[in-house]
Amino acid sequence: MSPAQGIWKPAACELPLSVATTMGGPYSDSFDKATGRIRYSYRGTDPDHRDNRGLRTAMVDRIPLVYLHAVERSKYLAFYPAFVTQDEPALLRFWVQVDDAASVAADLADVGHAIAEDEPEARRAYITSTVRRRLHQATFRQRVLRAYREMCALCRLRHTELLDAAHITPDIEEEGDPVVSNGLSLCKLHHAAFDNFFFTVTPDYRVEVRPSILGESDGPMLIIGLQDINGSLIQLPTRAAQRPDVARLEKRLEIFRAAS
């Protein structure tokens, strides 16, 4: 299988088996948040290209495909089953949605040979939206950890299994974009502490620990993990564009001090 091909159809098969969204490719595949669908560009500009005809047939016959989405170069997340749900030749694109395998099997059992005509659009929209969030989280983590050279910005822990990408502006907010400048590479302890406002990072990239935490007396983990980092500078990405956005840090600092 070669995801870089986008629409993949082995020579021995009549129809495509998978579609892939790659990084830095020539097409502008994207998610439509409002409808829970994926815009998937035609192969080239000819609606009758054999790959486009194959996807059109898969749509008409409701053939399930594998949807592959790149989270890093040569690294993909796979989702199955995915269905082509609409064809727009004038715009040179299809619409794709991901579904739940168990639900599709139940639909097939109900009608004996094909998915029911009243396809569960709400279910597919919800599942596709969930896929979008999972992809954003995976892509965000990969990019943030790489920018911070795969270590915690505070304690320099380098075990990637114990590292997370923390959002400065939470992803549930409208401005919580999954971009590196909205992230910090933190170990799981510091990520949890950051999310719970035990500390924050100031616009000059220093750690400010909550006064109540500084006044506690507990054990060595409290001292080493939180109290001793107060006032320290965090480790920063080499590229200036990937460093924490100052405006986001200022907004979070206001919230932090108000809550402290």
Listed residues 107, 125, 142: the one ending a domain: 142
- Given a contact cutoff of 8 angstroms between Cβ atoms, the answer to whether 82 and 96 are in contact is yes
| Residue 144 pLDDT exceeds 70 | yes
The residue among 162 and 25 whose pLDDT is bigger is 162
Residue 116: per-residue pLDDT: 47
Task: Give the percent of the chain with pLDDT over 90.
Answer: 62
Question: Both 137 and 161 in a single domain?
Answer: no
Better pLDDT: 110 or 247 = 247
Q: Are residues 15 and 133 in the same domain?
A: yes
- pLDDT recorded at residue 252: 97
For residue 33, CA distances in Å to 81, 132, 172, 245 come to: 20, 9, 14, 25
If one counts the domains in the chain, the total is 2
Sign of CA dihedral 26, 125, 82, 89: negative
Give the model confidence (pLDDT) of 37-46 as tens digits: 999 999 999 9
Average pLDDT over residues 91-103: 92
Q: Round to whole Å and give the CA distance between 2 and 76.
A: 11
Q: What is the DSSP letter of 229?
A: G
pTM: 0.67
How sure is the predictor about 119, in pLDDT bands with cuts at 50, 70 and 90?
low
Task: Tell me the residue range of the domain where 29 lies.
Answer: 3-142
How many residues are given for the chain? 260
- Same domain? 88 vs 184: no
